[in-house]
Structure 1
Amino acid sequence: MSYPIDRTAYLLVDPYNDFLSEGGRIYPLIEPIATDVGLLDNLRALDRAVRARGIPVFIVPHRRWEAGDYQDWDHPTPTQCKIMHGHHFARGEWGGEWHPDFAPKEGDTIVAEHWGASGFANTDLDFRLKQKGISHVIIVGLLANTCIEATARFAAELGYHVTLVRDATAAFRQDMMHAAHELNGPTFAHAILSTDELIANLGGPAAGQGD
């Protein structure tokens, strides 16, 4: 496995405080699995690694809840209903701000917010990847069996080479993680790797040695 650095992008999905920080509205639901897989440390290692290699970073954010969202929709999904009632990722509130370790840096691309699960549907993600000549996407963040899977499936349908990173994501239950990486992922992803495996395949400095 090799990645053409000039045609590879790193897609970080939903790096909000509500998901990744203690005190976040959703963090308690993913904390057991996040702790088990070392999610935060792995995301930090990947952030260092891709930036050290000059791989462009795309932030792929969920719609930040605002008053009135989804209330007059004909067919809000169950997840959208939960967001509506739970005020997840509320715009203007701490939970809807970036986790400080994963806030966009100069040169990063912040994609239009997605309303559903896919980072591609009704956003400018595909257009902006194509403008950079991207053919390979590495997709990490949350949640494994919802936004990550939906974004990765859409990417495969559009013709991108798709990599999932099994320990740079989390879910509410272990069976959801199993489904995402052992049952569903192999039907569309070109590679399903660990953080260490991905960093080794990216080449350049080894993990912990100048990343």
Structure 2
Amino acid sequence: MAETYAPRRTAVLLVDPYNDFLSEGGKIWPAVESVAREVGLLDNLRAIVGSARQAGVRVVFVPHRRWEPGDYESWDHPNPTQRNIMVSHSFARDTWGGEFHPDFQPGPGEVVAREHWSQSGFANTDLDMQLKQHGISHVILVGLLANTCIESTGRFAMELGYHVTLVRDATAAFKPEMMHSAHELNGPTFAHAILTTRELLTALRGEGPAA
């Protein structure tokens, strides 16, 4: 199915662009590095964010909760990722790892949604309200991780009535099998389009619909 994107109705959701995920020396970078380098993640993210801004497509930052001392320790049932964060202190507030990658900083007027505690960027945040207040109907999900926050945010967006696009090579995961599951098995059950960066950029530039 061909896809077109009206700039005023479209937002790129940039999920968890933290140094811990995307930068050399980041706590989680070693786990995603192989897949990220194979797909050209950083260059593709740069191209998508730059092209979106140039086309007048809104870029919305969708950040994970920055860890603080005491997080999750009194919870009845923190999930496996939250239990890991309790040990690793990933995305710790007021640390380099908990800062956005230097190439992915919010521009003037760009929305930074409230931090999500688990995997969906919509659950317990203001993301849906922000998108609706800005007239957004189409969301393009990029960032980390393909099979957790990207998938959960995309599923939630579909349930809320948004048109959802996944981008195969503008995300990463710990294993190739996780990428396969996210894009070949699970993605087709909720996403309206699953594109490559090249296909998306063609559509954003208005050179024709993405196939």
Under a length normalisation based on structure 2, what TM-score does the superposition of the two structures give? Answer: 0.96
Contact 2:144–2:172 (CA under 8 A) maintained in structure 1 = yes
Q: Which residue of 1 aligns with 2:84?
A: 82
Q: Counterpart of 2:128?
A: 126
How far off is 1:83 after superposition? 0.8
User: 2: distance between equivalents of 1:136 and 1:18?
Assistant: 28
Q: 1:162 aligns with which of 164, 181, 190?
A: 164
Q: CA deviation at 1:154?
A: 0.1
4+ aligned runs moved over 3 Å, structure 1: none
- Pick from 185, 188, 193 the counterpart of residue 186 of structure 1: 188
The residue aligned with 2:71 is 69
User: Could you tell me which of 23, 27, 30 is aligned with 1:28?
Assistant: 30
Q: Alpha-carbon deviation of 1:203?
A: 2.7
Matched with 1:139 is 141
Tell me which amino acid in the other structure corresponds to 1:185: G
- What are the Cα deviations for residues 43-81 of structure 1, in whole angstroms up to 9, with x where unaligned? 010011000001111000000000000000001000000
Tell me which residue corresponds to 2:18: 16
Identity level (%)? 68
Aligned residues: 206
Render the CA deviation track for 1:139-166: whole Å, top value 9, x for unaligned: 0000000000000000000000000000
Q: Give the AA of the match of 2:111.
A: T
Question: Aligned ranges for residues 104-119 of structure 1 at < 5 Å?
Answer: 104-119=106-121
2:110 and 2:14 mapped to 1: Cα distance? Answer: 11
d(CA) in 1 for partners of 2:121, 2:152: 8
Q: Given the superposition, is the C-alpha separation of residues 205 and 90 from structure 1 closer, same or farther in structure 2, using an over 3 Å criterion?
A: farther
> Aligned match of 2:58 in 56, 59, 65?
56
- Using the size of structure 1 for normalisation, the TM-score is 0.96
RMSD: 1.0
Q: Which amino acid aligns with 1:74?
A: D
Structure 2: tracts of 5 or more residues without a match: none
